Amino acid sequence: MALVALVAPPAAAQQARLVSTEQLAAELDRGDAVLVDVRQSWTSYLQGHLPGAVWLHVESLRTGAGGLPFQLWPAEVYARLFDRLGLAAARPVVVYSAGDQLDVAATFATWILEHLGGRDIRVLDGGYAKWVLEGRPVTQRLPRRATARGGWLSGQAFRPPVASLEDVRRAVAGSGALLVDARPVEQFRGTAGAQPRRGHIPGAVNHPWKDDLETRELALVWKDREALRAGYEAQGITPDRDIILYCNTGTEASHLFFALRNLLGYPRVRIYLGSWTEWAEREELPVEMPAGE
DSSP lists the bridge partners of residue 213 as: 222
Is residue 247 part of the annotated active site? The answer reads yes
How far apart CA 153 and CA 95 sit, in angstroms, is: 19
Note the residue count of the chain. 293
Question: 177, 247, 260, 280: which is the annotated catalytic residue?
Answer: 247
Written as one letter, the residue type at 50 is L
Q: In Å, what is the CA distance from 291 to each residue of 81, 87, 195, 199? A: 46, 49, 21, 11
Backbone angles phi, psi at 70, to 5 degrees: 65, 35
Positions annotated as catalytic residues are 247
